[in-house]
Amino acid sequence: MPDVLIFQHAPDVPAGSLVEIFKRDDLSTQTYRLFENQGNQIPLEQACGLVFLGGPMSANDAAEHPFLATELNLMCSAVDRGIPLLGICLGAQMLAKAMGGRVYPHTVREIGWSEIDLLPAAQEDAIFNGRSVRETVFQWHGDTFDMPPGAVQLASGTQCRNQAYRVGRSAYGVQFHAEMTPEIMHQWLAEKPAKITDRLMAPIDPAKIAAAAVDRFPAMNDFSQAILSRFAGLCAGRRS
As annotated, the active-site residues are 89, 177, 183
- Give the DSSP per-residue string, 92-129: HHHHHHHTT--EEEEEEEEEEEEEEEE-GGGGGSTTTT
Q: How many whole angstroms separate alpha carbon 63 and alpha carbon 108? A: 25
Helices 67-81 and 90-98 sit at what angle, rounded to 10 degrees? 70
Q: 87 phi and psi, to 5 degrees?
A: -110, 125
Residue 181 parent element (H or E): none
136: how many CB neighbours lie within 10 A of its CB? 21
Cα 15 versus chain centre, distance: 10
Q: How many whole angstroms separate alpha carbon 155 and alpha carbon 149? A: 16
Asked if 44 and 54 touch (Cβ cutoff 8 Å), the reply is no
Q: How many whole angstroms separate alpha carbon 41 and alpha carbon 30? A: 13
Q: Mention every residue, 6+ apart, whose C-beta is less than 8 A from residue 179.
A: 15, 16, 17, 18, 53, 88, 224, 228
Asked if 235 and 4 touch (Cβ cutoff 8 Å), the reply is yes
